[in-house]
Amino acid sequence: NAGVTQTPKFRVLKTGQSMTLLCAQDMNHEYMYWYRQDPGMGLRLIHYSVGEGTTAKGEVPDGYNVSRLKKQNFLLGLESAAPSQTSVYFCASSGLAGSSYEQYFGPGTRLTVT
Amino acid sequence: AQSVAQPEDQVNVAEGNPLTVKCTYSVSGNPYLFWYVQYPNRGLQFLLKYITGDNLVKGSYGFEAEFNKSQTSFHLKKPSALVSDSALYFCAVRANTGGFKTIFGAGTRLFVKA
């Protein structure tokens, strides 16, 4: 099993450009998450999904959109990138309620917005 | 509201000595508690969790953590540190009262000196 994969690994955008980050998991997990990691701030939840076709806002959703058209994929979109969105983005997944709840993380996408 | 505090930005320990990385939490109801480790340029990896039962939880790579309800703490410990344990450690908490949201601490960087 590949676990959680993310593409791309690195990306440089200019202010105002758009892009989509792709997350895929092969563990049949219901829950999927997008986080951003900034120095000294831990992980902050951007958006999450509790199942195929559902998404919801997390702690810092502004400037991002998400979609979960298939259970195994969770896409994060930036419609008009800003320098404040320079960060490392992590996708994670976890199992159903009643399971152990630990999250499995992808390797991350390092995004720089100039 | 849920919160997690890791009071030390950095912990330094000599190889072979015991290590402790501190974590305190605040959550309504009984907590689910987690420790994750992040090596450079990698995603977070699950180390161990406390859901219920024995207050001393054993996890991967020889790590353990002690749940203390009265002090609302969940400190990570290892009897004998290795240089390869040097990494960034995150404590996380999730309420068991429904919902999904996991809150991560800001992280503690562990340096183990040979």
* Contact in structure between A43 and A35 (CB atoms under 8 Å): yes
Residue B13: what pLDDT? 98
CA distance B45 to chain A (A): 7
Vertex B30: Cα angle to B27 and B32 (nearest 5): 80
CA distance A88 to chain B (A): 10
Amino acid identity for residue A92 in this structure: A
Give tens-digit pLDDT for B81-109.
Answer: 999 999 999 999 987 665 667 889 999 99
Neighboring chain A residues of B37 at a CB cutoff of 8 Å: none
Bond from prior residue into B18 cis (ω within 30 degrees of 0): no
CA distance B100 to chain A (A): 8
* Contact in structure between B75 and B65 (CB atoms under 8 Å): yes
- CA dist B57 and A21 (Å) reads 36
Neighboring chain B residues of A48 at a CB cutoff of 8 Å: 100-101
* Contact in structure between B97 and B29 (CB atoms under 8 Å): yes
How remote is the C-alpha of B84 from its chain's centroid?
17
Average pLDDT of the segment spanning B11-36: 94
Amino acid identity for residue A17 in this structure: Q
DSSP string, chain B: --EEE---SEEEEETTS-EEE--EEE-SSSEEEEEEEE-TTS-EEEEEEE-SS-SEEE-GGG-EEEEETTTTEEEEEESS--GGG-EEEEEEEEESSSS--EEE---EEEEEE-
Neighboring chain A residues of B44 at a CB cutoff of 8 Å: 43, 90, 92, 103, 105
Residue A108 Ramachandran class (φ > 0 left, ψ -120 to 50 alpha, else beta): left
Neighboring chain A residues of B32 at a CB cutoff of 8 Å: 101
Interface contact flag, A42 B104, Cβ < 8 Å: yes
Give tens-digit pLDDT for A43-94.
Answer: 999 999 989 999 999 989 999 999 999 999 999 999 999 999 999 999 999 9
Chain A residues at the B interface, defined by Cβ less than 8 Å, are: 4, 31, 35, 40-43, 45, 48, 50, 58, 90, 92, 94, 100-108
